[in-house]
Amino acid sequence: MRPKPYKFQAFVTISAGQNSDPACPPLPAAATLPPGQLKRMAVRGEHHLTHGSHFFSALVANSDDNPDWIGDDHAIVTVMLAAEDAADYFSAGDHFALWLGHDIADGIVTRRVFV
C-alpha cells in the first residue's frame, strides 16, 4: 500500500525549551518553529480507538501570520505527512505533540486541509 498525503492545521503551545540533557542548552521557543520555513520533525498522535500512540515523520510549517491574541509561545502551524491511517490519529479536536528528541510543542488539530 502506498501512504496517502495528509495535511492539517493546528494550534500549538510551544514548550519552554527544557532539555533533559544538561550539556545541551535549551532552545528558545522561536527557534523550534521558524516562521515561514518548513521543518522536518516527528509528530506523536493517539489512535482514536486503541489510544495507542504512534510517531509520524512530518513537515511542519509556521506561517507567522499570528494574530496578537496568541502570543509568543503559541503558533498556528500546518502539518504535512504521508500515512495510510493518519485520519485515525489526526482529526479536528485531536491532541498531538511535536517532537525533536523531546516534546517541543503540544497541539490540537483545528481543521483538515485537503490536498
Chain segment 45-56, per-residue pLDDT in tens: 999 999 999 999
CATH number of the domain where residue 68 is located:
2.40.30.10
pLDDT-derived band of residue 8, with 50, 70 and 90 as boundaries? Answer: very high
Which domain covers residue 76, as residue numbers? Answer: 5-17+33-113
Domain assignment present for 27: no
Compute the distance between CA of residue 14 and CA of residue 83 in angstroms, rounded to an integer. 25
- pTM flag (> 0.85): no
Tell me how many domains the chain contains. Answer: 1
**Residue pointed to by grid coordinates 500546518:** 78
18 pLDDT band, cuts 50/70/90, is low
35 pLDDT band (50/70/90 cuts)? Answer: confident
Provide the grid cell at 83: 500515512
pLDDT value at position 88?
96
Domain presence at residue 22: no
Q: What is the CA radius of gyration of the chain?
A: 14
